[in-house]
Amino acid sequence: MAMKWIEAVTGPLEQKKQYKQAKVRMEELPAPYDEAAKAIGRYLLSTSGVTDGDVLVQMFVDLVDLFEQASLDGTPVIAIVGDDPVAFADDYALAYNGRNWVDKERRRLTETIDKIRKEGS
């Protein structure tokens, strides 16, 4: 019972465990893959707007997988991110169709306007 209450407040503990494991794997990447993965991860946290924990965790696990494989294959970081790392990160985030904060605001805006419309104003 207490575990369900804790998870209701903090989110699923399994997600936190997977996220922490991905962060450890990211730290273990060789340079410059670690630096690139951390920078992209930081950017994604700030800009992706993903609020679904499962989606967010999967995005980070996949990011680590990508850079681990690239380091094993000897693929240069620049070959992964291209000339525009922001565009790469934005496109990467778009591939994860989770709910994000803007969805909530869009719904609230639509509901407010619908309410106004129904009131005849």
Arithmetic mean of pLDDT, 87-93: 92
With a cut of 90, say whether residue 8 has pLDDT above it.
no
- For residue 104, what pLDDT is reported? 80
The C-alpha atoms of residue 2 and residue 83 are separated, in whole angstroms, by 50
- For residue 120, what pLDDT is reported? 79
Arithmetic mean of pLDDT, 60-67: 98
Count the Cβ atoms, other than its own, within 10 Å of residue 37.
26
The C-alpha atoms of residue 26 and residue 116 are separated, in whole angstroms, by 49
- For residue 105, what pLDDT is reported? 85
Radius of gyration of the chain (CA): 19
